[in-house]
Amino acid sequence: MRSMLVVLSITLLVSAAHAGEILQAGAPFPAWELTDHTGAKVSSQAMAGKPYLLWFYPKAMTPGCTAEGQGLRDQAAAFQAQGVEILGVSFDTPSDNASFVRAEGFPFRLLSDRDRTLAIAVAAASDASQPVARRISYLVGPDGKVVKAYPQVAPATHAQDVLDDLAAKPLRGSSE
């Protein structure tokens, strides 16, 4: 019994140490595979060699998420000029995300993390019972490492905040 308690305690400590921690710049971004709003699979392996912004949003078609998505949509050409692909992630179904894409004219893919596996790994959720994702983002470099984490996102200014960071440290042609 005592050894079972020790194993359980160690397991809980390890889980607590990993759930909820924001990844730091330079850390490898976890491998992932999610379904987009069209039903297609999208993965970190398919994104290898390309920088991307992964923005977690709480719920499709809610005011804050819509404002954040519209800002990213309106700046999509600037992200494209930097070679950065925008990918949204929520716990919504692919069909809910498809409705969101159609309603807002988003030129980027919205991904469904229904089991919250990626969200838990990158601090967008504490556990699988969390009803909505935390509003956080990660800028991931072509090498698959975190360039910058955005643990506190202001929906109205997030797109410009990321573009300002890209202007200060462009990802294209960098020696990193």
Catalytic residues, by residue number, are 65
Phi, psi of 110 (to 5 degrees): -110, 130
CA 111, 116, 120, 126 torsion-angle sign = positive
Q: Quick count: other Cβ atoms within 10 Å of Cβ 111? A: 24
User: What 3-state class would DSSP assign to 87?
Assistant: strand
Phi, psi of 49 (to 5 degrees): 90, -5
Q: Smallest Cα–Cα separation from 72: which of 82, 87, 93, 60? A: 87
